A and B are shown apart, each in its own frame.
Chain A
Amino acid sequence: MSRLLAENVTFAYRDAPVVDAVNLAIEPGQMVALVGPNGAGKSTLLKLLAGLLEPAGGVVVFAGRELAAWPPVELARRLAFMPQEVHFHFPFTVAQYVLMARHPYRGWSPFEDQNDLAAARAALTATGMDALAERSVLELSGGERQRATLAAALAQEPAVLLLDEPTAALDLRFQVEIYETLRRLNRERDLTVVAVTHDLNLAARFCPRLVLLAKGRIVADGGAADIFRADLIAGHYGVDVEVGMRADGVTPFLLPGVREDRR
């Protein structure tokens, strides 16, 4: 159905490929973390999956149809993208900002209807932003901005949500809250989630599937247990790690640089 598929996708900014012949299938209802060291091509791959960049080679297919062949508005109703950071220059209220995400549903009408309002309200509640709805986006803290942008992405009511480091600016509590929200929507509404993140432990805790990228290629793909191998992490991140297991016996965790011989 709404499967998101990268087939032999390549992308280069100058000459060196940033994403190199990647094959990746995101099944409907999956929650996937894209992890990997800086410069691995995670954000570029995410933008290729979102149709924001055109692959130099290969194709990205969504629901059986090549991304480039989708009418932009039709695609935007199914696929939402949350960038790493949005720079605000004008005093929109949070409510206006979230309602703006309803753009793909409005057609030529400049006005919003009850559906738009309901979607925006639900999105504000899901991200805990109700109380700040009438605040100007220029006055928000980094974490509030991030949550407002997530609310906007949710108000777009997509089937697939692609997020570029959604918790980068957030403290521990909001990191967990955002991932809990995403996991809940993933379970309750079958929202497909693909998140680029540097936080491996958070990814392991909330995402059943992790995809490890290095130098533009997928080097590992599976559950946290498949990714959290000291040799794999050391090889690609260049840092020694200790892998532990949470009390539940299922979720591993990672501590960097604590091996005796590092001293």
Chain B
Amino acid sequence: MNALTPGRFALTLAPFVLFFVGVALFCPLIGSVDIDLTQALAHRHDPSASLDASVLFLTRLPRILLAALAGAALALAGAAFQALLRNPLAEPFTLGVSSGGALGAVLAIKLGLDVSLFGFSPLILFSFAGAAGTVGVVYLLARTRGVLSTSLLLLAGVTISFFFSALILLVFYLSDFTQTHRMLRWMMGGLDVIGYGEVARLTPFVLAGVVLLLAHAGALNQLSLGVEMAAARGVNVRRAQRLCYFAASLATGSVVALAGPIGFVGLIVPHTVRLLIGADHRVLLPASLLTGAGFLILCDTAARTVIAPVEIPVGILTAALGGPFFIGLLLRAKKRVRFWD
């Protein structure tokens, strides 16, 4: 029997750190344009002066940072939601965060608003408001005597998703072709940013969620066994549930607002990591975070290179890669694990 010691913790996470660092160092060098790294690095203080430097520092790096941030947030939130809902098939969008965000986004496009706040575009503001509103409504619906019921959360979240999907279709129906094209493109998810503005503004939201969730890894272990068990071990169930729910939702909602609903990362990454190193959330959460970041960088690199110069929206790629992978995983798991009771 092994206890989780700092040494064992480091040893378990080491391969995941290596994977992430490797991907993050390698992917900026790949793209439709070949760049000269020495040239680029020489102009790092004034990237716009050299083509190599501007491609590396102004086009690729911001995008890779955004992919890392989004992938990390989605994978971590997915693992947290799976524990909170005690359901291995949950993911960050199960409770309607993405449909709320999408409704906000399509409304912003339909209304053609031109307001911005603290440098955020109306599209981002509206989709964040939609996601946050959904999170709040689902929370209020699922709360009984201060404790969140997992079955009520699922019912409320899924119902809200369907309701919003209907509203989204209605907005689609009332929109012209240019608008619907923009809406559809948004819903495919994409990380195509120029410069560091968005990344810098997204960081505090994701970071807050990440810190809160990592601090609650032990509590999530207990909550995954049920509310009663957690309470009997001294977990403050109400506070832990509330903090984890809002932390995971905040991270998810801010990613959705900026990059659209990028599917499957939040489902397949925690699952894969669990197969590799087990279910203990104290290692599962940080490992999922690193794997999610690396995985989304890889997907986005593929998205911008496979049929360059045309870009595939990254959301299509994660789902296209993730779908078959996950079905294979389910078929494998079906043989040895009882999935539901």
The answer to whether B279 has its CB under 8 Å from any CB of chain A is: yes
The answer to whether B282 has its CB under 8 Å from any CB of chain A is: yes
With A99-B3, A138-B338 in contact, is A76–B234 under 8 Å at CB?
Answer: yes
Within A64-123, the residues touching B (CB, 8 Å) are 72-77, 79-81, 83, 86-93, 95-96, 99-101, 103-104, 106, 110-114, 116-117, 120-121
The answer to whether A61 has its CB under 8 Å from any CB of chain B is: no
With A52-B231, A111-B5 in contact, is A103–B341 under 8 Å at CB?
Answer: no
- Write out the residue numbers on chain B whose beta carbons fall within 8 Å of the beta carbon of A121: 1
Asked if B282 and A72 make an inter-chain contact with CB atoms under 8 angstroms apart, the answer reads no
With A52-B232, A72-B231, A106-B218 in contact, is A91–B3 under 8 Å at CB?
Answer: no
The answer to whether B325 has its CB under 8 Å from any CB of chain A is: no
> Which of A75, A90, A117 is close to B234, meaning CB atoms less than 8 Å apart?
A75
Chain B's closest residue to A162 (CB) is B232
Asked if A111 and B228 make an inter-chain contact with CB atoms under 8 angstroms apart, the answer reads no
Measured CB to CB, the closest approach of chain B to A111, in angstroms, equals 6
Asked if B233 and A76 make an inter-chain contact with CB atoms under 8 angstroms apart, the answer reads yes
Docked Cα-Cα span, A112 to B5, in Å, equals: 6
> Which of B2, B221, B282 is close to A95, meaning CB atoms less than 8 Å apart?
B2
Band of interface residues on B = 35 or more
The answer to whether A139 has its CB under 8 Å from any CB of chain B is: yes
Asked if B341 and A50 make an inter-chain contact with CB atoms under 8 angstroms apart, the answer reads no
Asked if A103 and B278 make an inter-chain contact with CB atoms under 8 angstroms apart, the answer reads no
Contact with A along B84-116 (1 / 0, CB 8 A): 001110000000000000000000000000000
Asked if B234 and A92 make an inter-chain contact with CB atoms under 8 angstroms apart, the answer reads no
Interface residues of A (CB under 8 A from B): 47, 50-52, 72-77, 79-81, 83, 86-93, 95-96, 99-101, 103-104, 106, 110-114, 116-117, 120-121, 124, 133-134, 138-139, 156
- For this complex, 25 residue pairs linking A to B, each with C-beta atoms less than 8 Å apart, are A50-B232, A52-B231, A72-B234, A72-B236, A76-B233, A77-B234, A80-B232, A81-B228, A81-B229, A86-B225, A88-B225, A91-B274, A95-B1, A100-B221, A100-B222, A101-B233, A103-B221, A103-B222, A104-B233, A110-B9, A110-B282, A111-B4, A114-B3, A117-B1, A133-B1
A91-B274, A100-B233, A139-B336 known; 11 other A-B pairs, CB under 8 Å? Answer: A50-B232, A72-B231, A76-B233, A76-B234, A83-B226, A87-B226, A100-B221, A103-B222, A111-B5, A117-B1, A124-B1
